[in-house]
Amino acid sequence: MSDDFTFDKAFSLTGKTAVVTGGASGIGLAIATLFAERGARLALIDRDPKVAAAAAALVGHGHLGIEADVAEDGAPKQSIDRIAAEFGRIDILVNNAGVARLAPAEEATRADWDLTMQINLTAPFLFSQAAGLHMLKQGSGRIINLASQAASVALQSHVAYCTSKAAIVGMTKVLALEWGPKGITVNAISPTVVETELGRKAWAGDIGEAMKKLIPSRRFAQPEEIALAAFYLATPAAAMINGADLAIDGGYTIQ
């Protein structure tokens, strides 16, 4: 076995720099925490003012927290250029920030539709484009997009959300096709309901119990389970994984 495929090297992020949008809490913070523990230097981007404190609390030194709304014009490029200037390179981008505005299709507003597309689809593309330019110059990089089970199956009152996540998977495949020959892999992760603080509140009580009955594994996912999948896709061990959409849904979408 080559040294590049020893366990320690295959599952290490030592010396890598990683950007996580929506990194101040929930899945994003779980991903950032694991990446930092495995040796990466992190830049967290979040509109939550606590993002700087979240970055400072990570294992290791030199992490960066940027308070920015990913939906604002110019925010993706400005954030990425700042990180590249400070870190010297960008090895990993995790497009995690997202929003869910739910309503029956006949009641969905144009404002909610536009906001959903702006945060869930346009921002990930612009972040990928901005980070991709740096990755293309260095000849390597990993982009991981948080999609959803809603990318593959229809969910009641999720017309904008389902559409945005299906589009993220399509975007992932095109970027993987175009950038794969240039040393960049692009993959998506599609979780079921995840028990973040917000997830627990949104799916509390009878609605949550009813949803669990539809999942063959009969439970929701944990943020750490999503983080471990993102970690794998970011490591040298996943060098041949490109254009994939990894479902972490307890079997929900096999039905």
d(CA 83, CA 53): 17
d(CA 181, CA 140): 10
Q: Is 87 helix (H, G, I), strand (E, B) or coil?
A: helix
Query: Which residues participate in catalysis according to the annotation?
Result: 161
Residue whose tokens read 């536009």? 114
Name the helix (H) or strand (E) containing 66: strand 64-67
The full DSSP string for 167-183 is HHHHHHHHHHHHHGGGT
Tokens standing for residue 88: 């010297």
**What's the half-sphere exposure (Cβ side, CA atoms, 13 Å) at 177?**
6
